[in-house]
Chain A
Amino acid sequence: MSAAVETPFRRLVSEFSTSPVAVGAGIAVVLIILAATFAEFVVPQNPYDLASLNILDGSLPPMSEGFEGNYYLLGTDEQGRDMFSAMIYGLRTSLLVSFIAVTSAVLIGMTLGMFAAWRGGWVESLIMRIVDIQLSFPALLVALILLAILGKGVDKVIIALIMIQWAYFARTTRGAALSEIRKDYVMAARCTALGQMRILFRHVLPNCLPPVIVIATVQIANAIAIEASLSFLGVGVPITEPSLGLLISNGFGYLLSGRYWISFYPGIALLLTLTCINLVGDQMRDVLNPRLHK
């Protein structure tokens, strides 16, 4: 394929690049993901290896030098843990939890949404009623109740996030699939006597993807925010695998004595991550919205 041929992917990239803010946010998101994935190589200290902590360096303000000459860019917490390192590790937990949750929610939601659109009748009514009812409650409250039942833990948080997010994808997919199923190409595929599953997954599904991708981007940001809130409230991830929310929660106790940095910087990291993902999501919506092309 020569460079001049316009593939859908290339068109997407070139249209995405029309907004410098979105490109900047996109680069920031990539950097954040890379830093979180390769946390071991990015940070000066493993914050959960107790042997590498120096209690003499406890509660140092940002940009100070430790007892053994270590430099702490964002300060340390009570146990002498480098806040920058803790933050990047926390980011990893936050990103991993929300990524797994949203991916699973997309798979479950799309399957159910497609199934509803395809089968119609009482199956569709049942699925869509459940979706309606669930979406009429705030996500945070549903997650809170689910975790009150399930208990603490990374896996539990992921289950709760999947259970509150699948409904968005089911609703979006059903809407897109309903309009796709009526189109001529599906009729043509039926005429060639292809199997139902093949038509559904090879022909209809790819055409339902654009709105799902947009929702998924925004929902990743939402999942990160909800996970952080849950961990802050003490029903989220356990203390052994702290996410950004838990770091902020831990710093709460020191805030009143003026040691602001323990809560402040993880919060800034959270805010930056959420804002960048949302900016990327906004631009994706503009690019993938077919109504804006015509």
Chain B
Amino acid sequence: MLAYLIRRLGQSVLVMSVMATIVFFGLYMVGNPVDLLINPEDDLAAQEAAIARLGLDQPILVQFWHFLQGVVQGDLGTSFVHNQPALELILSRLPATLELAAFAMLLAVIIGIPLGMFAGLYPKSPVSKGIMAGSILGFSTPNFWQGLMLIMLFAVFWRVLPAGGRGETAELFGIPFSFLTLDGLQHLFLPALNIAIYKISLVIRLSQAGTAEVSLQDYVKYARARGLSTRRIVGTHILKNILIPIVTVLGLELGSVLAFAVVTETVFSWPGMGKLLIDSIGLLDRPVVVAYLMLTVFLFVVINLVVDLVYSLLDPRIRTKGKNA
């Protein structure tokens, strides 16, 4: 187990270093941020001073060396545009993205599981067929266009929900959150729904297949024979048994929410990490792009590691395999 853990950690560090190197040198070849950041009406001395302040006058290898030194100390450089440490800037946007992701996951579970269980319990009903067809549509619809259509319906035609922004926030533990105010909740709903629709389709599929399978098991038949109410059979015996695969898949999907948050945040002007990344790419704000990448790779490495570890805890076969190898 320990050897496995060490090997996985070593691999993770390697992945992060390779990614950081590729992105650092890759971004260096694209455009010159100096053109965007310096006031062209300044005199030459002022321009040179600004370049020196950003560290852009050094040879690239020296810049890379400074970058590496910083990384080891947890300093991922300073944003050219915001003049603020890049990591701090991204972390300040992190709560908004996490709030969106958590709310989307919640929607996926509370909408997806009942619909999927219904389709699994009554497979012949036209409602079930409608639910399953809808889930196919939910898989195929491009996320960004779906967001536009939600804005069109709810904000332009019906005028019931705002089209973008984060709304009024309230602080909890010193961090602003939208879900604590009514206005914030209204702003949160559409972007969260936009991320959730794909997950809802996924949860519908999983719970429909699970329910159809579990309903045929002997313990469900036995529960029926004992005369338990349908509500108790469905709510306890079936629900508990279909939850395992749903929890696993949703855990794995947590990472992809980060990726789709980039699209959704752009559509709904939600001030999270994803919007920051797109803005920074546009402005050639190199340190922020590199820091975003490092943080995302780090998050993914952690998620994958945790999933693997949980698996090896749940399934003893994986552990024994590691021992033999």
Contact = CB atoms under 8 A, between A and B. Distances in A.
Contacts of A234: 278, 282
B278 to A, nearest CB: 6
A265 B30 CA distance: 35
Overall SS of chain B's interface: helix
Interface stretch (B38-46, B133-141, B186-194, B205-213): B133-141
A12 interface: no
Contact of A144 (B145, B155, B277): B277
B81 to A, nearest CB: 15
B255 interface: yes
Contact of A145 (B143, B149, B293): B293
Contacts of B140: 221, 271, 274-275, 278
Contacts of A245: 142, 144
Nearest to B256: A138
Contacts of B278: 233-235
Contacts of A138: 255-256, 258-260
B246 interface: no
Q: State which size class the interface on A falls in.
A: 35 or more
B142 A229 contact: yes
Contacts of B259: 138, 140-141, 144
A265 B319 CA distance: 53
Interface stretch (A47-55, A61-69, A252-260): A252-260
Interface string B176-214: 000000000000000000000000000000000000000
B296 interface: yes
Nearest to B15: A133
A181 B26 CA distance: 39
Nearest to B26: A149
A41 interface: no
Interface string B242-276: 00000000000001101110110011000000000
A256 B277 contact: no
A120 interface: no
Contacts of B143: 229
Contacts of B262: 140-141, 144, 233
A115 interface: no
B263 A229 contact: yes
Contact residues on B (Cβ < 8 Å of other chain), bracket = 35 or more
B309 interface: no
A138 B156 CA distance: 32
B289 interface: yes
Contact of A267 (B22, B148, B266): B148
A64 to B, nearest CB: 19
Contact of A248 (B144, B156, B266): B144
Given A140-B263, A264-B152, A267-B145, A151 B163 contact: no
B142 A228 contact: yes
A224 B263 CA distance: 15
Interface in A126-149: 129, 133, 136-138, 140-141, 144-145, 147-149
A72 interface: no
Contacts of B29: 149
A232 interface: yes
Contact of B142 (A151, A225, A256): A225
Contacts of A129: 11
A167 interface: no
Contacts of B304: 136
Interface string A175-194: 00000000000000000000
15 contacts: A138-B260, A140-B263, A148-B23, A148-B30, A148-B281, A228-B142, A229-B263, A232-B145, A233-B262, A251-B148, A252-B267, A260-B152, A271-B140, A275-B137, A275-B140
The 6 closest A-B pairs by CB, nearest first: A149-B26, A138-B259, A267-B145, A141-B259, A275-B140, A148-B281
Given A137-B300, A150-B30, A256-B151, 9 more contacts: A138-B256, A232-B263, A234-B278, A235-B278, A252-B267, A255-B156, A260-B156, A270-B145, A275-B136
